[in-house]
Structures are given as structure tokens and as C-alpha cells.
Structure 1
Amino acid sequence: MSTLRTLFLSPRVTATGHAFADAARRRGARVETLRDWRVPPQWRAAPAASLYSGPLFADAVARELGLGLLEAPQDWLARLPYELTLRKVEFTTIAQARALRRPAFVKPPNDKSFPARVYRDGSGLPGSDAVDGTEPVLVSDIVTFAAEYRLFVRDGEVRTGSRYATGGDLDVVPLERDARRSEVLAFAERLAGTGLPSAVVVDVGLIESAGWAVVEANAAWASGHYACDADTALDVVLHAARPEGEFGTADRRFLRHTPAVVRD
């Protein structure tokens, strides 16, 4: 990064948060852990801030930190051509998904408002007492990934990557040590021009007897790094979560809508 930033972390610091904090300190940046879901007055609209946290915490503090947060469009996965997903993916609302009468994989696009998993049918989804019916969801055909990979992407280029699962089980290995590295990178090149922000995390995987497919896209500022190089992944995070005024026209349409927080 050209300007040393203060990296803010949520009160619940994960292993990735610790790795990014260490990487930030190595380059002389400041690291601050926010102790509750509010920003102390001295840090509000900090001139060179960044953030690593989950989406709910980001919504609570991003405005006061003066941050813009890049994320993929909620319907990005559903808009991809079949040859990049190898399954049908529909972007809809949870109210409509509750009418499903078949098994499907259902998830919130960019948040964790309910568990992302295979549901036997729509009756298993959270009810209206738990989740508003207008909540957007992605409904996917069920597929089995033989291997899955996390890629930190900046300006369309994979900067660092990691395998994170084999056969659905956690199996973490740096991408450079994985036998399928060249296949992963070749598939990632096919995602150019699909409508992603300049800094994002993309998960891809190999479907046995079918080929390579996109698993999902994630916000870099909220993604675990697995065995990715922490210093390189941090560069992507710092580009994805930075003062809102730094974003150019091309990226502004990818900024997360963060609500205004009313304090007592």
C-alpha cells in the first residue's frame, strides 16, 4: 500500500485477523481492535483506515470510519453463464424460496443471516419471524466439489490462493504447492469481464466428471485466508476496504450499502 493505514479489527479477532494484524505491523501500519460495536470518537472518519471483520460488524462501524467496502453484486453468481457454474443458480427472495418443493443449496449472497447449506425443501428455511421475506438468496442445484480453492483477486489477477477443502472436508494447502495450481489459474482467467470489483475473493472448485466451476464470490475484507500468503492477501483487503473517497467510478457501483448508525 502506498499510504500506511490503520487496520481496524472487530472485537472477535479470528486467526486470519491475527495474521493480517501481524502483516500490517510488519509494514509499519497501526492495528486497532475495536472493543465493542461502536467507533471511539478519536477514530471516526480516520484519514487512512481499513477494516477486517464480518459483514454485520462492518455495517455497524464502516460509516463512522468513513470506509467504502467492495463486494460482488448479490446476483453475480446467478448471472454467470452455465459453463462457469456447471449448475443452475437462481437469484430470488427467501419468501419465494420457501415455496421450493425440491432439495437445493440455499445461501444469502453476501451475508450470513442464515446457514448456507442444502435444504430438503423450502419449508426448512428460516421463517418470517426470523428473516424478512425480502431477504435475497441464491438457490443452486446440488453439486459435489472434489476440491475447492480460495483466490484473493486484485484487478482481475489472482494475487494469492489456497486449497481449503477436498471432498467437502477441510484440507488447507497453499495454491503453489497444489498439483492443480495451473488448472485453477487457467479457470480464474475465464472470470475476467464477468462484473467483479477490483478487489474480491473468489472461490472455485472442481466438480468430479464435470469440470471447473465457480463456488461463490466473497468480500475480501470478510474472508478467511486459509493458507494464502497473509501479506499478499492483506494488500487485497486494504484495496477492498478503504476511505470511500478513494474509489473511482468503476468501483463505486460495487460499494456495499452500509446503514447509517444512530447512537444514543
Structure 2
Amino acid sequence: MAPQYTTTGELLAASAHRRGLDVHVLPTRGGTGALRGRRGAHYHGGPAFAARVADDLDVALLEPADDWLTTLPHQYTGRRISLTTLAEARALSHPAFVKPPTDKSFPAAVHTDGTSLPTGLPPELPVQVSEVVTWAAEFRLYVLDGEVRTGSQYATYGSLDARPLEHHLHREAVREFAHDLLTNRGDGLPSAVVLDVGLLTGTRDTWAVVEANMAWFSNCYAADPDRALDVVLRSAGPREQLAERDRRFCRDGQQRAVADRQGAGSP
């Protein structure tokens, strides 16, 4: 676990203890210490801290490709979305929803134009730009091998509203939409991933994809932490157990490390 406390981290740690797994909270400074070189490590926490410890822990961090959402047809997105750079987004002259594709380098938000985007960040930083829409409800789904293992509503009209998917009025509609998406476009996602979907309001209500995220850095809200842990463990687990299909979803530096290990005869 990364050193920053989160309620999700607490829930996942309790679930891991119930399975008999060792749980260690890494120090803010000092690296991985006694854990360095131990086999079978997994990780949960933020990407900045992960970049410091992933090599020592020998874990492979899976994350969706930055352009995955923009490759989906309109029937799955319900809105226009493009992938560009922060520098190009600064030239926007109309309102748009702008966010980093996967990391949290700046908050996702609606901007009246490009002049209100944050400063002090690299101009080449990838950003997603989409038209402004209204989400009546948003749901977080933990997906493993193309199957939704658990989920939670997390927002209603943009306000936090966490409820377990299993008891939700829209549970069947959410699962049906997710099943269709994962059946037809699931090969573009890691085997372990968090998928956010929601209900768009407008001339007619439409189910659509909000985004995809790293399971090892996601709030589980009211999802079942025991089932969520299955996804988290796969999403940031031992490099030697990384499946071939997931190699392209590792960060660039890790891709090279995995290739070097496999080229040297690692399993």
C-alpha cells in the first residue's frame, strides 16, 4: 500500500488480511526497504508513488491506453471526444470537459475555454476533450477477464452518491450495457480494469462510457471490496505472472523491463 491513507485502501487491506495476505504500508521516504526483492508483491496507491517503487517491488502496473475512449464509436460514448495535448487544448474557444486520460495531474472539469486550463504542466501532456453533457447517474465497475465482478454507483447528477450496484434499480441495465461493450470492445482494455459508465440525459436517456481507469488507483465506493480486490491484485501484480495480452497495457518503462525478463527466460 502507498503511504497516503484512503478508505478504499483500508477496505482492500482488510479484505487482503481475510485471505491471509501480508499487507505493508510503505514509508513516504526510504523506499521499499525489507520488501525489496520479495516475490509475489502487489500494489495499491497513486501513480506518482508507484513510479518510485514498482521496479523494486517488481510489479507490472496495468492501465488503459490514453486513446481508448476516443476509439469507441458514438453508440458507446454518446458524445464527441478527442485526444489532444494540453497546449492545443489551450486554444479552445468554447466550453468543453477536459481531463487527463488516466492520471490525475489536474482535476477533470468543465472549462469555459482553453484559457482557464491549469498552468505549470508540460504542454505535451495528453488530455481528453469532450462536449459538455449531463450524467444522471454514474457507476464504477470492477472488470476482470471481461466480466464485471462488482460495482457501485458513485454519483447522481455530478454529486457523490455511493450505492452498491447489486441492489440498485439500474443494475440490470448497467450490466447489460457493460456486457455489450466488453464483448465488442473489451480487447482494447487490460484484463483487470475499472470501467465507469453512466446514464446520459437529453432528448432521450442513453447509457454511455464515462472512462476507464487503473484498478490499482481507484475508489471502490460501495462496491464489494472482496471482489474488487481480485481485480486490483491482477492490475498491479508480479511481472513474472503478466499475461502476454496485458504487456501492451504496462507503462513504457515496464514494457521494456518485462521484455528483458522474458527475453532472459523468465516465465
Output the TM-score relative to the length of structure 2. 0.91
Query: Do 2:144 and 2:192's aligned partners in 1 also have CA atoms closer than 8 Å?
Result: yes
State the one-letter code of the partner of 1:182.
E
Q: Which residue of 2 aligns with 1:254?
A: 249
Identify the structure with the greater helix proportion. 2
Deviation at 1:45, TM superposition (A): 3.1
Q: Which runs of 5+ in 2 are unaligned?
A: 257-267
> What is the 5 A alignment of 1:205-220?
205-208=198-201, 209-220=204-215
Judged with a 3 Å threshold, the aligned counterparts in structure 2 of structure 1 residues 79 and 37 are, in CA distance, closer, same or farther, namely farther
Which stretch shifts more, 227-236 or 59-68? 59-68
Over the aligned positions, Cα root-mean-square deviation in angstroms equals 1.4
> What is the 5 A alignment of 1:172-211?
172-192=162-182, 193-194=184-185, 195-208=188-201, 209-211=204-206
Judged with a 3 Å threshold, the aligned counterparts in structure 2 of structure 1 residues 240 and 37 are, in CA distance, closer, same or farther, namely farther
* Secondary structure in structure 1 of the residue aligned to 2:151: strand
Which stretch shifts more, 189-198 or 26-35? 189-198
Output the TM-score relative to the length of structure 1. 0.92
Q: Does 1:243 align with 2:243?
A: no
Deviation at 1:174, TM superposition (A): 0.4
Query: Do 1:150 and 1:163's aligned partners in 2 also have CA atoms closer than 8 Å?
Result: yes
Provide, for residues 50-103 of structure 1, a one-character-per-residue CA deviation record: whole Å limited to 9, x for no partner.
011011111121111111011110111111111100000001110111111011
The sequence identity of aligned pairs, in percent, is: 51
Q: Which residue of 1 aligns with 2:143?
A: 153
Q: Which residue of 1 aligns with 2:94?
A: 102
Query: Do 1:38 and 1:60's aligned partners in 2 also have CA atoms closer than 8 Å?
Result: no
- Count of aligned residue pairs for this structure pair: 250
Instruction: Please give the alpha-carbon distance, in whole angstroms, between the structure 2 residues aligned to 1:255 and 1:191.
Output: 22
Identify the structure with the greater strand proportion. 1
Query: Do 2:84 and 2:127's aligned partners in 1 also have CA atoms closer than 8 Å?
Result: yes
Query: Do 2:32 and 2:53's aligned partners in 1 also have CA atoms closer than 8 Å?
Result: no
Deviation at 1:219, TM superposition (A): 0.2
Specify which of 209, 221, 224 is matched with residue 219 of structure 2. 224
Instruction: Please give the alpha-carbon distance, in whole angstroms, between the structure 2 residues aligned to 1:188 and 1:164.
Output: 16
* Secondary structure in structure 1 of the residue aligned to 2:249: coil
Instruction: Please give the alpha-carbon distance, in whole angstroms, between the structure 1 residues aligned to 2:151 and 2:6.
Output: 19
State the one-letter code of the partner of 1:63.
D
State the one-letter code of the partner of 2:68.
W
Q: Which runs of 5+ in 1 are unaligned?
A: 1-8
Q: Does 1:74 align with 2:69?
A: no
Following TM superposition, where does structure 1 have runs of at least 4 consecutive aligned residues deviating by more than 6 angstroms?
none
Q: Does 1:24 align with 2:16?
A: yes
Instruction: Please give the alpha-carbon distance, in whole angstroms, between the structure 2 residues aligned to 1:37 and 1:251.
Output: 31
Q: Which residue of 1 aligns with 2:260?
A: none
Q: Which residue of 1 aligns with 2:261?
A: none
Provide, for residues 115-142 of structure 1, a one-character-per-residue CA deviation record: whole Å limited to 9, x for no partner.
1100111111123xx1111100000111
